[in-house]
């Protein structure tokens, strides 16, 4: 899908290294996006107060703070801006932490500029084509022994105990609930990272953490099953109310 499919898309690149920031902006300029740049979190916050931004390419380590903290703050404020986190850190734990705090994708430096372009297009496509969530008309999704509050984004046990979900966990569980009893490949669970999903172990870590929360009550430990060589499946029916 060409950039023309995203008319008026505004992308902001936040990196304190001017050379890297200019390199990314130069690549994106060829795609005809509306572009903004910032070298620190203060500049980013000022811009977000005055501008409507569709996607942020956000460096993790900035001179006036951590990109992870900003990501968490934006999600707590209800912002749905797409975020691609970029960092020199490469461990799976770092990737999972970024995704759990609300990032939509994660790239490790150095990266191929064309890969960044593909990921930006995929995220913009997802943001503009995915259907409105069921939460607009439905409040709860019931599966196995659990209820998922679609508005408050939290799990509810049979005894009404609440279990909070990270943004990444809620998105992942929602994807399972959309197609219960169907095997979903990694690239299906995280379509915006389709190009690397088959080799990305952070996806397995996200599934593992979600499983741990579901296993907190009897019957929850067998809800998400691994199908070797194919992916994962939610082994339960789903009812909405």
What is 134-240's CATH number, 3.40.50.970, 3.40.50.2020, 1.10.10.10, 3.30.43.10?
Answer: 1.10.10.10
Q: 90 in helix, strand or coil? A: coil
Residue 157's pLDDT is: 93
Residue 241's pLDDT is: 86
Distance of CA 8 to the CA centre of its chain: 22
Which helix (DSSP H) or strand (DSSP E) does residue 8 occupy?
none
Per-residue pLDDT at 193 exceeds 70: no
Angstrom CA distances, 167 to 76, 86, 96, 99, stand at 10, 18, 11, 8
The CATH-assigned architecture of domain 3-129 is 3-Layer(aba) Sandwich (3.40)
Please report, rounded to a whole number, the percentage of residues in the chain having pLDDT higher than 90.
Answer: 32
| Sequence-separated (6 or more) residues with CB below 8 Å from residue 65 | 40, 41
Q: Strand locations in the chain, DSSP E? A: 10-14, 34-38, 55-59, 61-62, 65-66, 82-87, 105-108, 140-143, 146-149, 154-156, 162-164, 224-227, 231-234, 239-240
Give residue limits of the domains in the chain.
3-129, 134-240
- 195: confidence class by pLDDT, cuts 50, 70, 90: very low
- 38: confidence class by pLDDT, cuts 50, 70, 90: very high
CA distance 49 to 173: 32
Q: Mean of the pLDDT values across residues 121-135?
A: 61
State pTM to two decimals. 0.60
């Amino acid at each position: 899908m060409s950039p023309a499919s995203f008319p008026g898309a505004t992308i902001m690149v936040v990196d304190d290294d001017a050379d890297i920031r200019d390199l990314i902006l130069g690549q994106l300029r060829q795609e005809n996006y509306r572009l903004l740049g910032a070298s620190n979190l203060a500049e980013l916050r000022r811009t977000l107060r005055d501008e409507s931004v569709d996607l942020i390419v956000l460096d993790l380590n900035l001179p006036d703070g951590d990109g992870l903290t900003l990501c968490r703050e934006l999600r707590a404020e209800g912002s749905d801006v797409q975020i691609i986190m970029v960092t020199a850190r490469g461990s799976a734990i770092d990737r999972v932490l970024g995704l759990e705090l609300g990032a939509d994708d994660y790239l490790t430096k150095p990266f191929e500029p064309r890969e960044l372009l593909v990921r930006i297009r995929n995220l913009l496509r997802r943001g503009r084509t995915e259907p409105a969530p069921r939460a607009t008309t439905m409040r709860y999704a019931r599966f196995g022994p659990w209820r998922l509050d679609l508005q408050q984004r939290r799990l509810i046990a049979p005894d009404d105990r609440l279990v909070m979900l990270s943004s990444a966990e809620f998105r992942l569980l929602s994807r399972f609930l959309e197609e219960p009893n169907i095997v979903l490949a990694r690239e299906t669970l995280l379509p915006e990272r389709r190009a690397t999903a088959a080799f990305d172990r952070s996806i397995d870590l996200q599934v593992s953490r979600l499983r741990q929360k579901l296993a907190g009550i009897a019957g929850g430990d067998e809800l998400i099953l691994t199908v070797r060589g194919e992916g994962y499946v939610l082994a339960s029916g789903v009812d909405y109310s």
